[in-house]
Amino acid sequence: MRPSTKKNLKTAAIYSGILFLGLLLGQNFADENIRNGLNPVLPLGFTEKTTKLQQVLHLINDYYVDSLNIDTMQNVAINDLVSKLDPHSLYFAPERARRINEDLEGNFDGIGVEYYTINDTLLVTGIFPGGPAEKGGIHIGDKLLRVDDQLIAGVKINQKDVAAMVRGDQGTKVRIWIKRDGMEINNPFIIVRDKIKVSSIEAAYVIDTATAYVKIKRFGAQTAHDFNTAIGQLKKQGTNNLILDLRENGGGYLTAATELASQFLHDKQLIVYTLGAHHQRTDYFSSATGQFTSGKLAVLIDGESASASEIVAGAIQDLKRGIVVGQPSFGKGLIQEQFEFGDGSALNLTVARYFTPSGRCIQRPYDSFYGNKYFANGGGIKPDIYIAEDSLSHNDFYKKLLNQGIISDYVFENLVSEIPSFSSEHFIAHYKLPSNNYRRFLNFAQKRGIHVNNRTARLSKLLVESDMKALMGKYFFGTPSFYKIKNRTDPNLIRTIQVLRTE
């Protein structure tokens, strides 16, 4: 968690959160803190009433008929208690807390590859440019067989377990055996792990001479920096309009959201404010450093746009800086603060609600165990221009294909065996799938247990083939090509471009 984010809470709120968990963790955790040289604040201030759960854990540990892992018991108790608060307060075990923080910080120590599981074998589908894997000789299309002394091909293995194997401290080495073009390579590739920096921006390009498109996948520590770099390059190409795509963006850091919103606003405009029972009102204003304070702006949202995405969309909408297009957003109007523990675990505790400049709290209703309360007077950001999802093509057949990964399986098993010799621009504009491809795909889906109804399959054909071509584009040319292909037939984007041109 970023230091600036931690400063969002008053000292009283921090102690409140710590004491709140103290009644569960008890003396064992305090002893651990003492050994680590930390201040043993957890046991202070308890009464007979507040130590009941602590006493129960001690009794179980000391007298239960069977031997138990007290750490596991503590985790069960914490998860059960936190689950009764609200949908967004969560307790994370050490490994998950580490992964989440790496995602938001935008960097981790590893080798820089993306892979996809096909028939119990990992296919390399992406390589970080200039990263350790590329430097070490790994190619897109390689199949991973072993990592150090661990066999990973032909066995049931979780991708998270593989990630744990290939990740490691910067500067350490990992040996990887691969199969390339159907042939096993005898000698391992020796890869030196390094810091991998992952951008928050998945695509940034000029749609036409006037309109630019930027896709942000999360709000992390580097989002504002990444956006500044992207928008600077786009402005040099003469664009006056911007489409900011926040669809499927579940949020991230509050400060990342306010820094991004500030890029579109003039100095000292209210972006958002936060307020909670132990959290005094805090206002967040724009600065004078915005890179796109003039020019037409549209923000795309959908039902998976949440939290930080809604802060940006809400500010743009309330301040009439631009238009919001798409479907209503998720409706997460609560702010979490992360409290970290000595073992690497963490509690993401809801400490405040956020409000848009006009005073809207857009948290959708939830049932709180304590007091059975509903905290809401909204339910997401409502777009200025609503575009309904095409239910004919996005039918149950298509959703089953997505949920079971059938389209990706088919593409990586059948359509990417040879890297094309032409450019990404030529592929995007002119490549067409084979005429018999869809029939082959339907047969493939049936063999995977998908019931194929000719009518629903026909209605989804264009959407499925668009997904196929986009996955091929990403595999051959990188993530931006995926969005360039999908956007050519995206009704939300097409409508947005029309609006920006006529306004």
What is the structure's pLDDT at 51?
67
Question: Is 363 part of any domain?
Answer: yes
Specify the CATH number for the domain of residue 267: 3.90.226.10
Say whether pLDDT at 36 is over 50: no
Q: Which of 100, 102, 170 is nearest to 131 (CA)?
A: 170
Say whether pLDDT at 417 is over 70: yes
* One domain for residues 382 and 291: yes
Q: Which of 48, 95, 46 is nearest to 75 (CA)?
A: 95
* One domain for residues 251 and 136: no
Which residues are known catalytic residues?
307, 318, 332
Instruction: Return all residues near 325 (Cβ < 8 A) that are at least 6 apart.
Output: 298, 299, 300, 301, 383, 384, 385, 387, 492, 495, 496, 499
Q: What is the mean pLDDT of residues 286-313?
A: 96
User: What is the number of domains present in the chain?
Assistant: 4
Lowest-pLDDT choice from 64-73, 224-233, 316-325: 64-73
d(CA 129, CA 112): 8
Q: What is the mean pLDDT of residues 252-267?
A: 96
d(CA 423, CA 309): 34
Secondary structure string (H, E, C) spanning 295-351: CEEEEEECCCCCCHHHHHHHHHHHCCCCEEEECCCCCCCEEEEEEECCCCCEEEEEE
Question: Is 340 part of any domain?
Answer: no
Q: Which of 273, 425, 449, 290 is nearest to 356 (CA)?
A: 273
The distance of Cα 335 from the centroid of its chain, to the nearest Å, equals 17
* One domain for residues 428 and 377: no
Question: pLDDT-based confidence at 248, cuts 50/70/90?
Answer: very high
* One domain for residues 217 and 260: yes
Q: What is the pLDDT of residues 125-168, one digit of tens each?
A: 999 999 999 999 999 999 999 999 899 998 888 788 888 898 88
The distance of Cα 365 from the centroid of its chain, to the nearest Å, equals 23
> Could you tell me the pTM of the whole model?
0.85
Secondary structure string (H, E, C) spanning 140-176: CCCEEEEECCEECCCCCCCHHHHHHHHCCCCCCEEEE
Residues counted in the chain: 503
**Final residue of a structural domain among 34, 67, 95:** 95
**Final residue of a structural domain among 72, 95, 118:** 95
